């Protein structure tokens, strides 16, 4: 059984909930160099896109063009000067990797299509309202900012909120549970009073009739 003083009565730690792997280590700052590196690289990329006017497609194309030109000139000059060629890894996809990726994509696409069909045919009203709410939220947030700013802000949130919660979870859980109990008590009291008033009003109407 989970502890009543923990949110959702959970038993597992935040690290375990996040998967317990490399991604969890990065999100919880257990590999600080990697986390800081990701934040700095994404910040630099965001500033490049915002200040230079580049789009993602134009930047990727420019970088690839520059890389291809450098490698081409390097290979030609190496052949002329009898120098070693550029140290490129073997660019080859094995059949096993392709099959695994295909199976992964097929499984998730089938699940998505199945859920979409249930929503379209009205078989899952709860999922319909949930998807509609998510789409409305994405549309609303997208109208306030651009995709790159939203992506960078989301990354900052992902790399800060779980880490702060993991560090101060005892205090956060305690105050959230106290607040939840107070709200639940007020709601129960309000609900009882409303039901009592409605019942009293119904009885009075019956007596008058």
- The confidence score (pLDDT) of residue 5 equals 59
∠168-173-179 over CA atoms, to 5°? 130
> Region 26-44: what's the mean pLDDT?
87
Length of the chain: 209
Q: In 3-state terms, what secondary structure has residue 83? A: coil
CA distance 147 to 141: 10
Taking the C-alpha atoms of residue 21 and residue 144, their distance in angstroms, rounded to an integer, is 34
Both tokens assigned to 209:
């009739």
CA-derived radius of gyration, the chain: 28
173-208 confidence digits (pLDDT tens): 888 888 878 887 777 777 667 776 777 776 776 666
Which residue in 1, 6, 39 sits closest to 160, CA to CA?
A: 39
């Amino acid at each position: 059984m989970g502890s009543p003083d923990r949110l959702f009565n959970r038993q597992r730690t935040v690290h375990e909930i996040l998967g317990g792997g490399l991604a969890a280590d990065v999100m919880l700052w257990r590999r600080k160099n990697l986390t800081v590196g990701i934040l700095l690289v994404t910040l630099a990329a965001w500033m490049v896109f915002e200040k230079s006017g580049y789009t993602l497609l134009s930047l990727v194309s420019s970088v690839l063009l520059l890389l291809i030109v450098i490698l081409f000139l390097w290979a030609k000059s190496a052949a002329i000067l009898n120098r070693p060629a550029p140290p490129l890894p073997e660019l080859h996809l094995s059949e096993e990797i392709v099959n695994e990726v295909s199976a992964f994509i097929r499984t998730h696409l089938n699940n998505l299509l199945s859920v979409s069909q249930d929503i379209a045919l009205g078989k899952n009203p709860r999922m319909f309202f949930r998807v509609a709410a998510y789409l409305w939220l994405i549309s609303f947030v997208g109208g306030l900012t651009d995709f790159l700013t939203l992506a960078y802000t989301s990354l900052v949130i992902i790399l800060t909120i779980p880490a702060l919660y993991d560090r101060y979870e005892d205090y956060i859980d305690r105050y959230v549970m106290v607040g939840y109990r107070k709200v639940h008590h007020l709601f129960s009291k309000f609900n009882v009073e409303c039901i009592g008033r409605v019942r009293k009003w119904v009885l009075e109407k019956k007596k008058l009739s």
